[in-house]
Structure 1
């Protein structure tokens, strides 16, 4: 295999997002969470309505589709209005 072919198949690591960016973790049943930081080789995500953070493989994380983003934002607003999160 030539060097060009090897470089073409090598996947670059995803760029680290800004804190609070909504992301979908495909490795955890398309769970939506807020980016909280980097922990070794993993990214830390937190549920949008609060709760325990989890670690995700950066390769398994993607940007949410518009409907996923809307559902997450509505869930956060509902939790806030019910007093479950500040």
Structure 2
């Protein structure tokens, strides 16, 4: 199933807050924003953001997105209130 593309046929970068896949290594992260030419992603369990070239960021497929959401929910449940 092909992903969304811009007018030139390049894949569109997922919007801020969406889950995406870094095509270089398959890591899934939430899109946090962009700095310079890079898209910043953060793992669903938290941690440091990493930079990914926008042409290598893909929207996460439904199964990976669900897994990432569950990871976030589980992490939130373990945090002290």
TM-score, scaled to structure 1: 0.73
Question: Structure with the greater relative contact order (CA < 8 A, sep ≥ 6): 1 or 2?
Answer: 2
Higher helix proportion (structure 1 or 2): 1
**SS of residue matched to 1:62:** strand
Q: How many residues align?
A: 74
Point out the structure with max Rg over C-alpha: 1
TM-score, scaled to structure 2: 0.77
Give, in whole Å, the separation in 2 of the partners of 1:52 and 1:44: 10
Runs of 4+ in 1 over 3 A off after TM superposition: 11-17
CA RMSD of the aligned region, Å?
2.1
Give, in whole Å, the separation in 2 of the partners of 1:16 and 1:65: 14
* 1:42 to 2:38 alignment: yes
Give, in whole Å, the separation in 2 of the partners of 1:73 and 1:57: 23
| Per-residue deviation, residues 5-40 of structure 1 (Å, max 9, x unmatched) | xxxxxx55544443211111111x211111111111
Instruction: Structure 2: state its 5+ residue gaps.
Output: 1-7
Question: Residues 1-86 of structure 1: matches in 2 within 5 Å?
Answer: 14-27=11-24, 29-83=25-79
